[in-house]
A and B are shown apart, each in its own frame.
Chain A
Amino acid sequence: MSTPQPQTQQQMQQQAAPNWQAAPGPSYTSPIPITRTHLGHAIASEWTKIKSVRSTIWTLGAFVLLVIGLGLLFAIIAASADMNLEGESPLGLGLFGVMLGSVCIITLGVLTTASEYGTGMIRTTMTACPSRGRVLAAKAIVFFVLAFTVTLVATALVAFLQVAILGDSNAADPTSEEWIKATVGVSLFLALFGLLALLMGSLIRHSAGGITIMLGLFLAPLVIAIFMFAQALKDVQEFLLNYSIPSQLGVFYSAELGSSGPSGWDPLWIMLGLTAAAFAGAFLLLEKRDV
């Protein structure tokens, strides 16, 4: 109900701008200099964003703990049990930690994009930077560099420790290619896999959904292959086993499941192709869809 408010009406009458349509007010110019923005600004912004939320600390902390903890544990068990490594490189013991840790990288990747949709922050971001591709590129670059650096530090540290612990066992000294594959190679692969998760988050726009899909992508091929008993499906089973993410990770530790699967640096090129395709898809959809 409205009761007439004399005071209000008086104010209104006083404020009514006389013929305002014809008389524009003075032009306002901000004293703060206007700069031309570029990708660098977006990268700085995304760096502030990723380091100012707790999920980054938690996921990366858990990742480092898993990679170093499990890697060390396996090395110590191998050393104390006087296991005969039969000329194998001790670096292979790091595989299990990296495999479990990749779940953390997936989670962080999905959260980097999808959490903005969950909280509504994306509307604020896209208002502050209407060039949507720039935001996605900045997110991708910041995440990739962060994931790569953390993974490299963790895998390198665990590799040195394993070689030091098992140096006097029957293990072979890793060749320089094995060194590079178990550190730089694995780090590039994992960072790209995390980037795929980030793009999935941008496509799905839902944290839990994105993480579930990425976990499915990670584990399902292996699980499905295990239950393919029929002889007719033998080829499919072999393909799934060889190209599942865990087996591709194994390639960097010279632990291929079969001889027909990817070898050498193949997994990196496969992941690069997948991520590039996902980036193109995410970019096109981001430009087309409403925020």
Chain B
Amino acid sequence: MRPDTLTCRWVRRMIEAVGLTKRYGAKTAVYNLSFQVRPGAVTGFLGPNGSGKSTTMRMILGLDNPTAGQVTIGGYPYRRLPNAPRQVGALLDAKAVHGGRHARNHLLCLAQLSGIPARRVDEVLGVVGLQDVAKKRSKGFSLGMGQRLGIAAALLGDPQVLLFDEPVNGLDPEGILWVRNLMKSLAAEGRTVFVSSHLMSEMAVTADHLIVIGRGQLLADMNIKEFISANSADFARVRTPDAEPQQREKLTAALTEAGGQVLPEQDGALRVMGLPLPRISDLAHGHDVRLWELSPHQASLEEAYMRMTQGAVDYRSTDDQRAGLQQQMPPGAMPPPQMPVPGQGQPGWYAPPPPQQGGQPFAMPQGQPAGPYGAPAAPGGPGEPNPYAQAAPAQPAAPDMTKPEDAR
């Protein structure tokens, strides 16, 4: 154990990056990244492909040397931690094993390296549910089994700090649930859990705190609830009796007068922004309008994330035009109406209306400069003007894409 010179107990288990920068030749993978990962919570690490998540993870583990800045765990750089695997466990890449070695020997050689008794190997094999294939060569493992083996390796040293890079890749629903509960229970025991993932729905139910990066720079570092409400427009759905449209108009006028923003929805309901639910109810009561529905809506993490990172996406798909590959149409024939596909070649797709505060799509509570990606990206992706750009509706929550008219 380390000398207990540090006053705060939890500082000893904290991951701290200060001005972390990594360049590979001319390409800057990570630039001036500073963040802290604290114990007792699951911290999600989000970012588009190629945004520097894995590079950051590798630098935390001392595999890559930072070009500038430093990252420490409990105050020490990883490579200077005494018996590091007993303090930090990591799953970087499920395929980072020698395929010809069977699962138990793979874990055994890692256990021996840090003086962990061999019976611990059988313990973690049981924890991840691989005891039946312990003597099978890992070459034949499925991606999910590989992930389980990697998680077993991370748990081997029973460490205080755990790093997982995309832990649920390739896992079945049962495995995903298991990983989710595992992360939470590890954090509940007071450990530091740092998880990167692309699966927003998964992060939404697993993580307590989020660190979001784009093109190697910090985009956000905040509580998951703050993140969602800062990056999306919360709204209330209000429905008045369908048969009485005058009631709807009366309410719309009243709400607008009270300072709310009101948008009609496809199904006749109203979307109200800028007014708390009790106030909407009071206003309706005051104007003698009956309500059939009054429900709060919070945008999903995915929506908030897309909003934030749309300017920092490196690899974006373009529309598949199939130019020159199409058969000549017989004269007079009309090309079949094309359905737009969400997210394909439509840069503005996920951009919901600006939140109530207006201007900045997300707020950094620390008051740090948001960086070049803070400003909302100008829609208008690569290539030609998008034929569907007009069709992309102003309210993104439930655009009705089933109608071919929308596509023209």
Chain A residues engaging chain B, CB cutoff 8 angstroms: 1-5, 8-9, 11-13, 15-17, 20-21, 23-32, 34-37, 41-42, 44-46, 48-49, 52-55, 115-116, 119-131, 290-291
In the complex the two chains form, is A52's CB within 8 Å of B86's CB? Answer: no
Known contacts A2-B299, A5-B201, A12-B225; is A30 also within 8 Å of B158 by CB?
yes
From B39, B64, B200, B224, contact of A291 by CB (8 A):
B64
Interface residues of B in 99-134 (CB under 8 A from A): 99-102, 105, 108-110, 112-117, 120
Enumerate chain A residues within 8 angstroms of B160, measured Cβ to Cβ.
Answer: 28-30
Per-position binary interface string of chain B over residues 282-317, scored 1 when its CB falls under 8 Å from any chain A CB and 0 otherwise: 000000000000000111101100100000000000
B77: nearest chain-A partner, CB-CB: A130
Q: Is B98 an interface residue (CB 8 A)?
A: yes
Name the 6 nearest CB pairs between A and B, nearest first: A25-B40, A24-B10, A120-B96, A35-B115, A30-B158, A25-B190
Min CB–CB distance A81 → chain B (angstroms) = 44
B398: nearest chain-A partner, CB-CB: A3
Enumerate chain A residues within 8 angstroms of B108, measured Cβ to Cβ.
Answer: 48
Enumerate chain B residues within 8 angstroms of A125, measured Cβ to Cβ.
Answer: 110, 113
From B96, B189, B205, B302, contact of A124 by CB (8 A):
B96
Q: Is B9 an interface residue (CB 8 A)?
A: yes
In the complex the two chains form, is A2's CB within 8 Å of B302's CB? Answer: yes
Min CB–CB distance B124 → chain A (angstroms) = 11
Enumerate chain A residues within 8 angstroms of B84, measured Cβ to Cβ.
Answer: 127-130
In the complex the two chains form, is A8's CB within 8 Å of B300's CB? Answer: yes
In the complex the two chains form, is B225's CB within 8 Å of A37's CB? Answer: no
Interface centre among A1, A37, A291 (most CB of B within 10 A): A1
Known contacts A27-B10, A34-B83; is A41 also within 8 Å of B112 by CB?
yes
Q: Is B34 an interface residue (CB 8 A)?
A: no
Provide the bound-state CA to CA distance between A131 and B77, in Å: 12
Enumerate chain B residues within 8 angstroms of A129, measured Cβ to Cβ.
Answer: 84-85, 113-114
In the complex the two chains form, is B93's CB within 8 Å of A120's CB? Answer: yes
Enumerate chain B residues within 8 angstroms of A131, measured Cβ to Cβ.
Answer: 79
Given contacts A28-B39, A128-B85, 15 further A-B contacts (CB under 8 A): A13-B225, A23-B40, A24-B10, A25-B187, A26-B189, A26-B190, A35-B83, A41-B115, A49-B98, A54-B100, A120-B96, A121-B97, A121-B98, A128-B114, A130-B84
From A4, A26, A116, contact of B297 by CB (8 A):
A4
In the complex the two chains form, is B153's CB within 8 Å of A124's CB? Answer: yes
In the complex the two chains form, is A291's CB within 8 Å of B188's CB? Answer: no
Chain B residues engaging chain A, CB cutoff 8 angstroms: 1, 8-10, 13, 38-41, 58, 61-65, 78-79, 81-86, 90, 92-93, 95-102, 105, 108-110, 112-117, 120, 153, 157-160, 187-191, 200-201, 204-205, 208-209, 223-225, 228, 297-300, 302-303, 306, 342-343, 397-398
Enumerate chain B residues within 8 angstroms of A3, measured Cβ to Cβ.
Answer: 300, 398
Enumerate chain B residues within 8 angstroms of A53, measured Cβ to Cβ.
Answer: 98, 100-101
Enumerate chain B residues within 8 angstroms of A20, measured Cβ to Cβ.
Answer: 38, 40-41, 208-209, 223
Provide the bound-state CA to CA distance between A51 and B78, in Å: 29
Provide the bound-state CA to CA distance between A74 and B209, in Å: 73
Known contacts A25-B39, A25-B187; is A15 also within 8 Å of B208 by CB?
yes
In the complex the two chains form, is B114's CB within 8 Å of A130's CB? Answer: no
Known contacts A20-B209, A37-B113; is A130 also within 8 Å of B342 by CB?
no
In the complex the two chains form, is B63's CB within 8 Å of A291's CB? Answer: yes
Known contacts A28-B160, A34-B83, A130-B84; is A123 also within 8 Å of B190 by CB?
no
User: 14 A–B contact pairs at CB < 8 A?
Assistant: A2-B200, A2-B306, A12-B205, A15-B208, A24-B39, A32-B158, A35-B114, A36-B83, A41-B114, A121-B97, A123-B92, A123-B96, A127-B90, A128-B84
Provide the bound-state CA to CA distance between A41 and B96, in Å: 21
B209: nearest chain-A partner, CB-CB: A20
Enumerate chain A residues within 8 angstroms of B223, measured Cβ to Cβ.
Answer: 16-17, 20
Provide the bound-state CA to CA distance between A125 and B300, in Å: 39
Known contacts A30-B86, A290-B64, A291-B64; is A24 also within 8 Å of B110 by CB?
no
Provide the bound-state CA to CA distance between A161 and B95, in Å: 47
In the complex the two chains form, is A28's CB within 8 Å of B190's CB? Answer: yes
Provide the bound-state CA to CA distance between A291 and B13, in Å: 24
Known contacts A4-B397, A27-B10, A126-B63; is A34 also within 8 Å of B110 by CB?
no
Enumerate chain B residues within 8 angstroms of A29, measured Cβ to Cβ.
Answer: 160
Enumerate chain B residues within 8 angstroms of A5, measured Cβ to Cβ.
Answer: 201, 300
Known contacts A34-B83, A127-B63; is A45 also within 8 Å of B112 by CB?
yes
Enumerate chain A residues within 8 angstroms of B95, measured Cβ to Cβ.
Answer: 119-120
In the complex the two chains form, is B112's CB within 8 Å of A44's CB? Answer: yes
